Structure 1
């Protein structure tokens, strides 16, 4: 490490009071259900429902950490026990999303003060909820592409810490790691030990200062792989790496460099959406095969982040407005393998297009304004309740891997431990029909409850059931005996 960087880090670290904190392990994260918020767009501290936010302007709209704290009842009442917030470091004037950082050791004042962030962390922990913070290790941000002021960056205040500009060729791994995402995002030399050491020092202090329980790491595929193990080790918490790639053989091995963490599961995201959301792009057989690849190609598929919406991609309802398809997407997210991640507003059926369209202001009345009676809000809360019951009452639920059972043209049945789920992309106009499981493994003659309709069925001697499906509704089945005491469907 250069002398100048050593002195910077020593000075910056001395100014920080680092309290003790208990790290949340990957195993502890398995049971969690994450609600992702784009800090600037989720909640304002003044509780406004009219403050304007034009997503096309790419500017700050006023969401804050204090606003999130004030809405924790809304989040926790849906059954979420973790939140993921935007990067918290100081950004450029147009870095409302948090990914254009300029100073690792200063917070983004648009989101609040250090005390506000500590208050949010404390409020979460008081509710037994976890805090996941987004972090950027690949690049810094500049307001312009011309005459980048490297001296203003902290702690990497010289161009020698960055690669020279080049355009990325994503078919070449070296190019992905050394070239720039955009011409105003200087790419850090994460292969250099002084950069690795600086990041490791910073992240250890950040986690301790704000009692952070987990990290979502941006653009993992664009950093030097060898930089990730010491970074995650220094953090001492669960690391969830983001790489937007649909190739399982490329994406899943990244779990090895994240110290037993997981990846944002883009391979299964693309497979599910191509089957259920982009009508006709793929078949249920394709999805079943990708479930198999997830189980068998991952180091541990139960540690990935499972999602169907996020801040970088068009929302489900933009592709397909059918609300029952959206409900099935939420069912998939919450009941398949991995740690489920629901993106803010998904429960309000927001329909934003590609970035920046999918970054709506949640507080506006036309976007739902935290409507607790919205159909998808209730679906989300209910399925979280079902999942939580399984997590708390089956010793194997979180570690058992999801299996695709059988499928038809528009339905697929899957099993994760005690829960068997049948999802359909037929939509609201689906004619009532029946579906018979294959390999469900219920005990002969046991009573099986579809907790969506509360209808009951008796398993055959082979342990299968034939259930009614109609109107695009999913089927979520547990045995009546397992449900006893849950209050679900009156049991």
Structure 2
């Protein structure tokens, strides 16, 4: 080799190192060989990278498309990867009229661990947590240089310091409680201004990074693995409707239409009923889909093909990277419905055992059922979404236990909610709940009445669907009168922080009433875990009568009878009324005690209580 050739080679190597380091971001940061999808979009961000064109010479991989956009600092590469390609490094050459360099992109080996991506169903009991509010496992990550919000436990609107490690440390508590799955509100980086309060996680500033105040990507993956080791599942919370105003895209948007124009469309009308409304105006549709959620949450335009591909691929990356079993998609009604259908379809096709629940906050069954897959919608829309959040049943329980009984009021509300199950493709796929992080806690909603609280919980565990329990419910947690509305029901768990006066994670740290309620819920949870009739049984109900309501869950040679009395006095029901079910069973046991029970000609139900009976042939 001549000296000139050697110098040229050295210069090319130096140029390669210098220019590859100009890539501020490459997303996804890596991929895997032998994935269930063949296409890979790589979003590259760096100074003037859009002026380069890429090429590669790796057998089994080809660049099918590369797209330069409005901002010259982006380049989008689309790779087609044959399933025979082995893990390793893909050298990609970038060249423009002035120079060239090599960027090495990594294809990793897929994780062979069994029990990943297994989905969730009606046999599960989901425990919902906000990581910032559940437990602080590491004080070292409370405040991070470069992330604006810091921990301030004197102010409930600020970060409290809970993290992924705190959840990990209490997995045995959750398993012992009878939970089979955990849903954690978003863990993505939310680098929000100090006065915003982005602890909730719904204003993402980086979709490929766990917020370092919650831990690292590796910490989250370890949480999933540790949860799986205990025979439990993990559901990840995602948001495709919006990002945070401080997302790194916002300082240099790839295209002018990457987010909707807030000056043109303003803010959303929050009327999810507009979708599926045959009489809705285009103005209202635009407000719902294109309006920003709040001033701090820019609304994403999923009709931009590059963005749609990016978001779908981001979901697949997290599923593959972490091993999660399901996704809860936030604000499902607000993006373009055709995009959400495409997203759900592609995710389920890639991971057939996976499950997705979409947050569809509407108050009527007709509007809720519109969003479940295979619903008979008159406009032909099929969401491809397996599961919806059953807000109508939630409201029916909450209102039905606090109203006087009437033809359409009181406990009749639950009867009418069940009576419309024909509108769902499969109501047993609905995620059912009494409360969550966006609404008042159930104990408060029933007037801090323990009897009504237990009736509500009995319905939750015996109704068709997949039950979700909000953290602290096992303590009959109420509200703290401080902070904003949201913070009132987003308390920290006592004992989750070093220095707390007591720990509700221990028997000694709980009050006598908390131990009593927790023991009741634990017994109910473990009973439900073993009841196939509850997991799979048909729901058969009898019309409400003077504040009482009876329904059954029936599965071949077993059934469960639920008899509810919302009155202040005992109620007596004629057993003959339920003969069509009761005559088929000879053994009866009281739930959750498991003791034998004898059904006489008249059935007595105690005041404000739910009688639950296990029936066997």
State whether TM-score is above 0.5: yes
The aligned residue for residue 31 of structure 2 is none
Q: Distance in 2 between matches of 1:240 and 1:18?
A: 29
Q: Give the structure with the larger helix fraction.
A: 1
Moved more, 168-177 or 243-252: 168-177
Q: Is the 8 A contact 1:18 1:209 kept in 2?
A: no
Q: Is the 8 A contact 2:337 2:383 kept in 1?
A: no
Q: Is the 8 A contact 2:341 2:385 kept in 1?
A: no
Max radius of gyration: which structure? Answer: 2
Q: Distance in 1 between matches of 2:501 and 2:549?
A: 34
**Aligned positions of 1:103-252 closer than 5 A:** 103-142=206-245, 150-152=249-251, 157=254, 159-165=256-262, 166-169=266-269, 170=271, 171=274, 172-235=284-347, 236=351, 237-252=354-369
Q: Does 1:38 align with 2:130?
A: yes
Q: Distance in 1 between matches of 2:503 and 2:451?
A: 18
Q: Does 1:62 align with 2:165?
A: no
The aligned residue for residue 304 of structure 1 is 430
The aligned residue for residue 488 of structure 1 is none
How far the C-alpha of 1:158 sits from its partner, in A, is: 5.2
Q: Give the structure with the larger strand fraction.
A: 2
> Larger relative CO (CA 8 A, sep 6+): 1 or 2?
1
Indicate how the Cα distance of structure 1 residues 345 and 287 shifts in structure 2: closer, same or farther if over 3 A, else same. Answer: same
The aligned residue for residue 476 of structure 2 is 349
2:371 alignment partner, SS class = helix
The aligned residue for residue 587 of structure 2 is 447
Indicate how the Cα distance of structure 1 residues 96 and 14 shifts in structure 2: closer, same or farther if over 3 A, else same. Answer: farther
Q: Does 1:7 align with 2:7?
A: no
How far the C-alpha of 1:433 sits from its partner, in A, is: 3.7
2:474 alignment partner, SS class = helix
Q: Distance in 2 between matches of 1:258 and 1:416?
A: 28
Moved more, 374-383 or 296-305: 374-383
2:370 alignment partner, SS class = helix
How far the C-alpha of 1:8 sits from its partner, in A, is: 7.8
The aligned residue for residue 489 of structure 1 is none
**Aligned positions of 1:415-454 closer than 5 A:** 415-417=552-554, 418-426=559-567, 430-437=568-575, 438-439=577-578, 441-443=581-583, 446-452=586-592
Q: Distance in 2 between matches of 1:252 and 1:25?
A: 25
Indicate how the Cα distance of structure 1 residues 414 and 444 shifts in structure 2: closer, same or farther if over 3 A, else same. Answer: closer
The aligned residue for residue 271 of structure 1 is 396
Indicate how the Cα distance of structure 1 residues 17 and 423 shifts in structure 2: closer, same or farther if over 3 A, else same. Answer: farther
Q: Distance in 1 between matches of 2:355 and 2:132?
A: 24
Q: Is the 8 A contact 1:446 1:459 kept in 2?
A: no
Q: Is the 8 A contact 2:360 2:388 kept in 1?
A: yes
Q: Distance in 1 between matches of 2:428 and 2:530?
A: 17
The aligned residue for residue 110 of structure 2 is 19
Q: Distance in 2 between matches of 1:349 and 1:424?
A: 21
Q: Distance in 2 between matches of 1:230 and 1:466?
A: 54
How far the C-alpha of 1:63 sits from its partner, in A, is: 1.0
Q: Distance in 2 between matches of 1:116 and 1:9?
A: 30
The aligned residue for residue 63 of structure 2 is none
Q: Does 1:477 align with 2:613?
A: yes
The aligned residue for residue 505 of structure 2 is 370
* CA-to-aligned-CA distance 1:66-96 (integer Å, 9 cap, x gap): 1111101111111111000111211133311
Indicate how the Cα distance of structure 1 residues 13 and 91 shifts in structure 2: closer, same or farther if over 3 A, else same. Answer: farther
The number of residue pairs the alignment matches comes to: 459
Indicate how the Cα distance of structure 1 residues 157 and 466 shifts in structure 2: closer, same or farther if over 3 A, else same. Answer: farther
* CA-to-aligned-CA distance 1:86-141 (integer Å, 9 cap, x gap): 11211133311110101111211111112211111111111111110100110011
Match of residue 381, structure 1, among 517, 522, 530:
522
Q: Is the 8 A contact 1:151 1:158 kept in 2?
A: no
Q: Distance in 2 between matches of 1:8 and 1:409?
A: 66
Moved more, 72-81 or 222-231: 222-231
1:182 alignment partner, SS class = coil
CA RMSD of aligned residues (A): 3.1
* CA-to-aligned-CA distance 1:372-416 (integer Å, 9 cap, x gap): 56222122211112212213xx5xx53334232242333321112
Q: Distance in 1 between matches of 2:610 and 2:561?
A: 11
Q: Distance in 2 between matches of 1:410 and 1:41?
A: 38
1:222 alignment partner, SS class = coil
Match of residue 102, structure 1, among 198, 205, 213:
205
How far the C-alpha of 1:52 sits from its partner, in A, is: 7.3
The aligned residue for residue 487 of structure 1 is none
Q: Does 1:361 align with 2:473?
A: no
The aligned residue for residue 77 of structure 1 is 176
* CA-to-aligned-CA distance 1:132-161 (integer Å, 9 cap, x gap): 010011001126xxxx974458xx655521
1:160 alignment partner, SS class = coil
The aligned residue for residue 418 of structure 2 is 291
TM-score, normalised via structure 1 length: 0.84
TM-score, normalised via structure 2 length: 0.68
